[in-house]
Chain A
Amino acid sequence: DAGVIQSPRHEVTEMGQEVTLRCKPISGHDYLFWYRQTMMRGLELLIYFNNNVPIDDSGMPEDRFSAKMPNASFSTLKIQPSEPRDSAVYFCASSLAGETGELFFGEGSRLTVL
């Protein structure tokens, strides 16, 4: 299996622009997670899906952030409008059901908002 695939790997944009990050989870995984990582705040859970349904979006910072999972093999995280404080590495991870604690992370999307 190719693992979790994220795109783009790097994104540089200007404040106010729309940003869309994409994720393809591992085939057969039931759960998909979006995390954001910064030096100051570490790895923060933004939202997670179970069988394409959003379960908990309490970590989404504000209404500028939205996430969708239209099918089992694709998810997007959108920021509109983007702000400099959104600069971070955004990770997508997927897992099977079961309390194994094993999340398979993608390589991340490094976002820089100028």
Chain B
Amino acid sequence: QKEVEQNSGPLSVPEGAIASLNCTYSDRVSQSFFWYRQYSGKSPELIMSIYSNGDKEDGRFTAQLNKASQYVSLLIRDSQPSDSATYLCAVNTVGGATNKLIFGTGTLLAVQP
């Protein structure tokens, strides 16, 4: 079993809709979780972090964490064509001062104008 699993997509949504991206992880001791965005041909960049159960909102983005179910999700409201990218879920499997991140394979999001 992979440590971090994501549906590869593509997930296609119309402009203005809510995009929902999901991720599961296998290591129960993981404490911190992140979402990265990667545009085609570019490097990944951090967009959201979440450390405790519940929701965390930042602009149009909401990260959700359920440690009991080992599940992390990212909601993008009012999706824009510029949101079209691959979204990578990442888990810190060490914690402390070390940002040792294990990434999922990513979900490709396509926002249709």
Contacts and interface: CB of A to CB of B under 8 A. Distances in A.
Contacts of B98: 31, 48, 50, 55, 97, 99
B70 to A, nearest CB: 17
A99 B101 contact: no
B46 A103 contact: yes
Contacts of A56: 100
Contacts of A106: 43
Query: Which interface class (under 10, 10 to 19, 20 to 34, 35 or more) fits B?
Result: 20 to 34
A108 interface: yes
Interface residues of A, number: 26
B88 A31 contact: no
Closest 6 pairs between A and B when the two form their complex, measured CB to CB: A42-B105, A105-B43, A101-B34, A43-B103, A97-B97, A95-B99
Interface of A: 30-31, 33, 35, 41-45, 48, 50, 55-56, 91, 95, 97-103, 105-108
Interface of B: 31-34, 42-46, 49, 88, 90, 92, 95-106
